[in-house]
Amino acid sequence: MGAIPVEDDATTFEVRNRIATVTLNRPARLNAIGQQAREELIAHFARVNDDEEIWAAVVTGAGTRAFSVGGDLKEMSDYGRERTSFPVPMGGTQRNLYESLLEVYKPTIAAVDGYAIAGGFELAMACDLRVAGRGSQFGMPEAQRGLGANFASVVLPRLVPRGIALELLYTGRFASAEEAERWGLVNSLVEDGAALDAALALAERLTANAPLSLRRYKHMATKGWELPVSAALRLDAGPNPYVSADREEGVAAFNAGREPQWAGR
């Protein structure tokens, strides 16, 4: 067997107008996520989280056939022949991939064209918002391959009604983009091939607002997810926009009838 071959640009990372675009760049493999892509994605999400010049991120897949079909089954098959067992579910870098995106404290948007299935669907779930082409499909077929879906098992029932989540997990069937929008899983539908442009336009709209306010929302929404309302209302998570220079700028700009110039502090 030997080592997994190193690819050039299994993913790409670009920043423009304070928006990072993270792209799975394996269109010939339907943007399957192998070890190299997984490790690169983890590094990209850490950069999004830590770089103060990045205010939002869009996650997408190269081409129009697939956002991502999830884990690279060929690589997984080779791994299985070399090892007697697979790692503990959600251990190591696999755990870090989805959680590192879920816990980015800035707005994240999935731009989905084509298939978002298995780990690719989970990657989209880990984003805050999802924009999808009308022909996109979403599914968790792991049970058809004798695999697990630990992240989806936990997160999907928090994004759609529990019965719908369990139906998708139990059957492995693919849901249409229209179904996903009806359930609230997809925020907006666009023409096929237009998801990335639409997601970037949405990101531009988000980043026109005060970045500390958005980060506060993200912290509060994430940390308060599992708390009773009374406890969540008493959280003090993330930056406090009420004591920021941007609050003063926002009020001054409103009174002067001009656009605010946010400093992010």
Q: What residues are annotated to the active site?
A: 122, 142
Q: Which H helix or E strand runs over 175? A: strand 174-176
Q: How far apart are CA 14 and CA 19, in angstroms?
A: 8
Q: How many helices (H) and strands (E) does the chain have?
A: 11, 10
Task: Confirm if 134 and 125 have CB atoms less than 8 A apart.
Answer: no
User: How many CA atoms lie less than 13 Å away from 14 in the CB half-sphere?
Assistant: 12
Q: Which H helix or E strand runs over 246? A: helix 245-256
Q: How far apart are CA 53 and CA 131, in angstroms?
A: 24
Q: How far apart are CA 58 and CA 71, in angstroms?
A: 20
**Nearest CA to 147 among 206, 215, 73?**
73
Q: CA-CA distances (angstroms) from residue 213 to 73, 105, 245?
A: 41, 11, 12
**Nearest CA to 140 among 113, 170, 160, 114?**
170
**Nearest CA to 120 among 187, 178, 65, 202?**
65
User: Token pair for residue 236?
Assistant: 């003090």
